[in-house]
Amino acid sequence: MNKLMSLTVEHVFDATPEELWNAWTDPEQYKKWYNPAPGMDLVIHKFEVRVGGRIHFDMPMPGGRGGNSTKGIFHVVEPNKRLVFGAEDKSSLNDVTIRPEGKKTRLIVVWSSTTPEMGSPEMQKMATMAWKSSAAKLERLLADK
């Protein structure tokens, strides 16, 4: 069995836990910010936010380059607190924690995967940059509310 590699990113948003939760669980909001490519929305095929519910989306890239297709299930759904989704066998997961901090909210995302490349410095750097781009898009989305 491959070793589980992970990357943790945190960001404090000027938003309520409910607003952040909705951004993660409403497909209309999620598709607007989750893709790190500027101006590119996800193409969502399934988005059933409940334990055992399916998630399936495509992430297009600029210039018509292919993106990736993501399929999985929701493993944990604790409204306004925690969301875990990813591969059915849990070989790749997004573990999202939402925690109030005064009038703001801290978002902690742990990406984990058994794919050895996930642990490489290049992949960690690329994933961190992608998260920063997505977080900036999410901040703009929340500011427009």
Q: Could you read off the pLDDT of 94-103 as tens digits, one per residue?
A: 999 999 999 9
Residues of the chain with pLDDT > 90: what percent?
58
- Give the separation between CA 120 and CA 116, rounded to whole angstroms: 7
Per-residue pLDDT tens for 112-123?
888 767 667 888
Cβ atoms of 106 and 96 closer than 8 Å? no
The pLDDT value given to residue 22: 97
CATH superfamily of 5-143: START domain (3.30.530.20)
Per-residue pLDDT tens for 2-38?
566 888 999 999 999 999 999 999 999 999 999 877 7
Residue ranges per structural domain of the chain: 5-143
69: confidence class by pLDDT, cuts 50, 70, 90: confident
- Give the separation between CA 103 and CA 108, rounded to whole angstroms: 17
Beta-strand ranges (E) seen in 1-145 are: 5-13, 43-47, 54-59, 68-78, 82-86, 92-101, 104-113
- Give the separation between CA 94 and CA 19, rounded to whole angstroms: 19
